[in-house]
Structure 1
Amino acid sequence: MSLKKVKEAAEMLKSRFSFNPKAGLILGSGLGDLAEELDDAVVFPYEDIPHFPISTVAGHKGQLVAGLLEGVPVLAMQGRFHFYEGYSMQDVTFPVRVMHEAGCESLIVTNACGAMNTEFSPGDLMIITDHINFTGANPLIGKNTEEFGPRFPDMSRAYDEGLVVHALDTASSLSIDVQQGIYAAVSGPSYMAGAELKMLQTCGADTVGMSTVPETIAAKHMGMNVLGISCITDMAVPGETDGITHEEVMKTAAAAKPVFKKLVRGILGQSSKETWEKERTNL
């Protein structure tokens, strides 16, 4: 990935707002409305940001919003990019590189997903504790850019344990029931066959989706703190699923939005300034 392109995109963004963003937000399918609640917001359509891809999926508005959420300066993506859209993994993770270069030291990444854990239900929110990469690709394949991070970054704690505890404590204080679990990423765009779901379930995955893991890998490569939140939109239990459509996913995600927004606001609002800061050793 071109460091020059990352810097050009970040410089354009920084020239349009005066604060120093601390956290990046990637808002998944049906969850992008939260970005419209930022204070002192500056909106950047993706097509106006140098070298940015263009989102093509329904439910992804396709713009980046800079502003304050619960007093925390953030950059929020209304819609992400997916491997299945034909983008390379480097394209998919380009915005994460840009957000880090613009100042973000932490990343909250969200998604809509299916649940294989029978104790979960549609509409539940799950704090991601770990992931399984079944996409068949990795955004770090190719020549390593040392300015971003090391050739072989450690992923044994991909999701920051302190942020996970903070998210769980925040949910409890707000009387929001949340799940915890492992998210499996697949390439998509087809939904999983029954045998594939059984394989993922056997491997220990609680949920399955088509995003999040590439962005997490890129963020950890650069030393960012990562918190993952999944919105469970359907049950993907082997032998029991009757099929699912994208429209149904969007409908369930929309119904869960009020609780999702309350949780994210709480996570940001009940944190200290230091929660979103980390010594930057790369860029």
Structure 2
Amino acid sequence: MSLQPAISDSAARIRATGRAPQLAIVLGSGWDGISSAVDDPLDIPYGELPAFPKLAIAGHAGVLRLGRIGGREVALLRGRKHTYESGDAAAMKGALRTLAAIGCGTVLLTNAAGSLDPAMRPGSLMLIEDHLNIVQRTPLHDEPGNERFVNMADAYDPALRRQAKDAAAAAGITLHQGVYAWVLGPQFETPAEIRMLQRLGAQAVGMSTVAETILCRHAGLKVLGISMLTNMGCGMEAEVLSHAHTLNTADATRDTAAKALQAIIPALSI
């Protein structure tokens, strides 16, 4: 099935539920704790939505949960497909365009990332101010003509960032701010690569989110991004990095992450 019919079918399936989400939240590793805070939840497996990806990474449920948080209609994407799984930077295109098709105008992208700043310890949360597309991949290579040229100034909406920071502070949660660097993975970075990223001005590094931000901006969606810092960058400390280590730290931080989202979501002007 080509992408546009798949998007149309997926959008029709969601509309048939009678739900009309205003905000979509892509849940990365460690962020799924917010799922239990959804009022009147309705789950649709990704397998019933032809535009949505098939997932194969631990910590990603592959379910779209519709409902309300703080009185706001939301759609939780419980898992994402990463570029490193297949080399496809457009792996989330169908899902994000489906959300745009049903009238969802804002997307909150979450992820687990490595910290490049000694002041941001594992378990901290970082608001994404901007990003570095280190791998220089794009999900827009097959878009026609001039439509592929997207302005990426203020890719992470400044007003939403201010609202998120203020709401987190009011809830007693520190929300750091910084630049997120996208590396392809799935291997972790070398110490030399970490030093390079620090010199380029990044405060966090991860293997997702940037391609999704590009897709969202191309679709006219506003974007807010938050990273959960699960480890220090390779070579900064003696810890041995692994996916299991990431998941363990993410699991220990899930309650703080969920509390932050419960404070932030109702505070956003969308």
TM-score range, shorter chain: over 0.9
Output one character per residue of 1:41-76: Cα deviation in whole Å (capped at 9) or x when no partner.
Answer: 110111111232211110111111111111111110
Contact map agreement 2:126 2:226 (CA 8 A) in 1: yes
Give distance in 1, aligned partners of 2:22 and 2:87.
27
> Does the CA contact (< 8 Å) of 1:184 and 1:209 recur in 2?
yes
Matched, 1:233 2:233: no
SS in 2 for 1:90: coil
> How far apart are the structure 2 equivalents of 1:249 and 1:103?
34
- Alignment check: 8 A CA contact 2:189 2:234 kept: no
SS at match of 1:153: coil
Q: Per-residue CA shift, 1:199-230, capped at 9, x if unaligned?
A: 11111110000001111110011111111010
Per-residue deviation, residues 5-58 of structure 1 (Å, max 9, x unmatched): 21221111111x213210110000122131232112110111111232211110
Provide the rounded CA distance (Å) in 2 between the counterparts of 1:145 and 1:92.
Answer: 21
Change (3 A) 1:100 1:87: farther
> 1:95 Cα deviation (Å)?
1.2
Is residue 164 from structure 1 mapped to residue 165 from structure 2 by the alignment? no
TM-score by length of 1: 0.90
1:268 to 235, 258, 265: 265
Q: Is this contact kept in 1: 2:178–2:204, CA < 8 A?
A: yes
Change (3 A) 1:71 1:239: closer
| Match of residue 252 from structure 1 | 249
Corresponding position of 2:6: 5
Structure 1: 5+ residue runs without aligned partners? 277-283
Aligned residues: 269
- Aligned partner of 2:240 among 218, 240, 243: 243
CA contact (8 A) 1:35 1:77 kept: no
Match of 1:280 in 2: none
Q: Which amino acid aligns with 1:2?
A: L
Unaligned 5+ residue runs, structure 2?
none
**Deviating more after overlay: 122-131 vs 34-43:** 34-43
1:101-120 to structure 2, matched below 5 A, reads: 101-120=101-120
Alpha carbons of structure 1 residues 51 and 237: separation in structure 2 relative to 1, 3 Å: closer
Give the TM-score of the pair, scaled to structure 2: 0.94
Structure 2 Cα separation of the partners of residues 65 and 205 of structure 1: 32
Superposed CA deviations along residues 130-168 of structure 1, whole A, max 9, x for unmatched, are: 00112331111123388xxx3311001110000000011
Indicate which of 179, 182, 186 corresponds to 1:189.
186
Give the equivalent residue in structure 2 for 1:92. Answer: 92
**Does 1:153 pair with 2:154?**
no
Q: Residue 51 of structure 1 corresponds to which residue in structure 2?
A: 51
Structure 2 CA distance, aligned partners of 1:30 and 1:87? 24
Give the match for residue 132 of structure 2: 132
* Counterpart amino acid of residue 27 in structure 1: L
1:83 Cα shift?
A: 0.7
Contact 1:134 1:184 in 2 (8 A): yes
